[in-house]
């Protein structure tokens, strides 16, 4: 079997970089949408718990890391834009976005922070800061996986946001990586990599619906590993096909254009004008930028686990 294996050195290098950072065309063309291309890490209506098992793949045959990282914006939006009332957008300032740059949502965040710095009223200042934080970009991880029991569906993409408190899915995966590695060193004197394609382990996800005291619900995800080490597959050709699968993140998650995101930043509902090929504000839209800012300041939401976009891809 060709050596596509996951590199512990790259995992550690990427983690170090993330830790350091913590201290401080209407749509892009993509392949035809197919829900089977995405890992469905959400509970169905009426479902309160489910378990899934996945095997994590390297980013590509040429990149033996497991995490691909992009910057995104998670915003509260009009329900005409997204039925859930929340939406994620790829940041146009991200280095991986072709022809990006000058992201209107980043610009909006900076403008709000600047307003807050000049504001003398503490209540207004606090509201401006909250709104600015909502428009600020955050790191999003994209991981390729094989879902056990659904191997016939091929490679799937799993997306989750970074958590500044160290309690996100990335942190849970790296904690598990550390625990198993340390156990192996103590027992055998040899390091162990749970993400190894030959001697690694499947990852078990347990999704549970939780209800808070105020009646809000969210899905929590517990992460552990399978009891025994197993290869990705005993079929070498199957391994080659999965690792060399041609689908990439940009096929799965389309970025919006600058004019579209400018309308979002202005609190408008974008509609596409076929006559001139441009995005424009919906004419009868009563939502104003001022109203959108006030609404954004009311509630900051972590879309990683509480809210899932109902109109994948981005």
Closest CA to 65 of 99, 138, 24, 16: 16
Tokens representing 293?
A: 């800012």
Helix (H) or strand (E) holding 10: helix 8-23
Structural domain including 234 reads: 8-39+57-199+230-298
* pLDDT confidence of residue 160: 95
Residue 216 lies in a domain: no
* pLDDT confidence of residue 48: 94
Residue 281 lies in a domain: yes
What domain count does the chain have?
1
- Contact (CB, 8 A) for 72 and 137: yes
Indicate if the alpha-carbon torsion angle 46, 151, 63, 178 is positive or negative. Answer: positive
- Contact (CB, 8 A) for 1 and 240: yes
* pLDDT confidence of residue 50: 96
Residue 272 lies in a domain: yes
Residue 75 lies in a domain: yes
Residue 309 lies in a domain: no
Mean pLDDT by 10 residues, the chain (314 residues): 79 77 47 88 92 97 95 93 92 88 93 94 94 94 98 97 90 97 97 97 97 87 96 96 94 92 95 89 64 48 38 43
Q: Judge residue 60's burial from the number of C-beta atoms within 10 Å of its C-beta, 0-12 exposed, 13-18 middle, 19 or more buried.
A: middle
Helix (H) or strand (E) holding 169: helix 169-188
Residue 307 lies in a domain: no
**Which residues are CB-contacts of 99 (< 8 A; sequence separation ≥ 6)?**
none
Closest CA to 238 of 307, 311, 174, 146: 146
3-class state of residue 99 by DSSP: coil
* pLDDT confidence of residue 231: 97
Closest CA to 266 of 276, 280, 254: 280
Q: Judge residue 143's burial from the number of C-beta atoms within 10 Å of its C-beta, 0-12 exposed, 13-18 middle, 19 or more buried.
A: buried
Residue 3 lies in a domain: no
DSSP alpha helices (H): ranges in 96-235?
A: 104-118, 122-135, 169-188
Q: What is the CA radius of gyration of the chain?
A: 21
* pLDDT confidence of residue 1: 63
Residue 67 lies in a domain: yes
* pLDDT confidence of residue 218: 87
* pLDDT confidence of residue 217: 87
Which pTM value belongs to this model? Answer: 0.80
CA distance 82 to 138: 20
């Amino acid at each position: 079997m060709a050596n596509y294996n996951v590199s512990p050195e790259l995992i550690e290098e990427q983690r170090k970089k993330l830790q350091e950072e913590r201290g401080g065309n209407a749509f892009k063309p993509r392949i035809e949408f197919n829900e089977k291309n995405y890992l469905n890490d959400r509970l169905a209506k009426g479902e309160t718990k489910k378990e899934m098992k996945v095997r994590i793949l390297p980013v590509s045959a040429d990149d033996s890391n497991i995490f691909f990282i992009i910057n995104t914006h998670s915003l509260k939006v009009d329900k005409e834009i997204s039925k859930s009332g929340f939406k994620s957008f790829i940041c146009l300032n991200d280095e991986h976005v072709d022809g990006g740059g000058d992201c209107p949502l980043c610009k909006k965040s900076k403008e709000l922070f600047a307003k807050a710095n000049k504001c003398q009223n503490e209540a207004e200042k606090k509201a401006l800061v909250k709104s600015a934080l909502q428009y600020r970009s955050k790191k999003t991880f994209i991981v390729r996986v094989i879902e056990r029991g659904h191997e016939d569906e091929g490679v799937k993409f799993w997306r989750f946001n970074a958590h500044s408190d160290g309690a996100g899915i990335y942190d849970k995966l790296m904690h598990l990586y550390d625990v198993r590695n340390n156990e192996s060193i103590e027992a055998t004197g040899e390091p162990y990599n749970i993400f190894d394609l030959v001697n690694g382990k499947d990852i078990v996800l347990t999704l549970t619906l939780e209800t808070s005291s105020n009646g809000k619900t969210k899905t929590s995800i517990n992460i552990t590993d399978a009891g025994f080490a197993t290869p990705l597959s005993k079929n070498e050709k199957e391994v080659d096909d999965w690792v060399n699968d041609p689908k990439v993140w940009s096929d799965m998650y389309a970025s919006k254009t600058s004019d579209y995101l400018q309308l979002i930043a202005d609190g408008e509902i974008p509609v596409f004008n076929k006559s001139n090929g441009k995005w424009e504000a919906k004419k009868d839209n009563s939502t104003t930028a001022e109203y959108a800012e006030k609404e954004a300041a009311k509630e900051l939401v972590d879309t990683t686990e509480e809210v899932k976009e109902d109109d994948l891809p981005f």
